[in-house]
Amino acid sequence: MSGREGAPIRVMLVDDQELLRAGFRMVLAAQPDIEVVAEAGDGARALEVLRGTDVDVVLMDVRMPGMDGVEATARIEGPKVLILTTFDLDEYALAAVKAGASGFLLKDVPPDDLLNAIRAVHAGDAVMAPSTLRRMLDRFAANLPDQDLPDGAGLTPREREVLLMVARGLSNLEIAAALEVAEATVKTHLGRVLAKLGLRDRAQAVVYAYEARLVVPSHRPRA
């Protein structure tokens, strides 16, 4: 589970709205495999608490007084970070994913989706729905920095193919079906892609593919 067999996933809540933290705390407290071990009202305080608390997953608000969630996420090492956002703050969520967050949730996320997201991130997956991430990237693709990023340098043709499919929002199971290989094989290819490109997870792989112009908002690969 959390590196301690049989122990619950240790979660930290970071949000400047105490009422919102209380709501999340109530939902999480009802789960035998999840435990809220810490809370903070801003990014700076979160970093202080993390220095003395073992945490597996940080549920992080984006907009907070003082240090916001993006800056705090960039400074966190170890725990996985889930960003809380609203549709009108999608640009902050994108920045947080680039800073190292494993995904993002809307603040009005249904309880079951919140719980599943925490468990998925703890297991090493990215949690944003591919369609949601595509909409976000479509909206802000025009504002992505024009950098000379490597065009998938070092990737084999199959690894590049997997990267493009991930960027289009396909799941491992869907990629496996399209390529007529085992899902475990897809996971292996994706793991190599992340290692070669120095990326943390699936979320950053999608952002990389857009910034490297391997895919464009129409979701068609660049020739």
pLDDT for 8-58, tens place per residue? 999 999 999 999 899 999 999 999 999 999 999 999 999 999 999 999 999
Task: Give just the sign of the alpha carbon dihedral 123, 197, 141, 131.
Answer: negative
Instruction: Tell me the CA distances in angstroms from 173 to 64, 152, 206, one per residue in order.
Output: 37, 23, 17
Token pair 């929002």: residue:
169
Phi, psi of 151 (to 5 degrees): -85, 65
Lowest mean pLDDT among 15-19, 133-137, 138-142, 218-222: 218-222
Phi, psi of 34 (to 5 degrees): -130, 140
Q: For residues 143 and 72, which has the higher predicted lDDT (pLDDT)?
A: 72
Give me the half-sphere count of Cα atoms (radius 13 Å) on the Cβ side of residue 120. 19
Q: Which structure tokens are listed for 93?
A: 């969520």
Q: Give first-to-last CA distance, the chain, whole Å.
A: 43
Task: Judge whether residue 130 has pLDDT over 60.
Answer: no
Lowest mean pLDDT among 2-11, 85-94, 156-165: 85-94
**Alpha carbons 26 and 170: distance in angstroms, whole number:** 33
Q: For residues 217 and 74, which has the higher predicted lDDT (pLDDT)?
A: 74
Task: Judge whether residue 202 has pLDDT over 90.
Answer: no
Give the total residue count for the chain: 223
Q: What is the mean pLDDT of the chain?
A: 81
Q: Which structure tokens are listed for 38?
A: 């810490």
Lowest mean pLDDT among 72-76, 77-81, 151-155: 151-155
- Mean pLDDT for 90-95 is 70
* Band of pLDDT at residue 2, cut at 50, 70 and 90: very low
Residue 112's CB is within 10 A of a number of other CB atoms, namely: 9
Task: Kindly report the pTM of this predicted structure.
Answer: 0.70
pLDDT at residue 105, as a whole number: 80
How far does Cα 185 stand from its chain's mean position?
A: 22
Asked whether 156 and 180 are in contact (CB, 8 A), the reply is: no
pLDDT at residue 222, as a whole number: 43
**Alpha carbons 103 and 142: distance in angstroms, whole number:** 21
- Mean pLDDT for 203-218 is 74
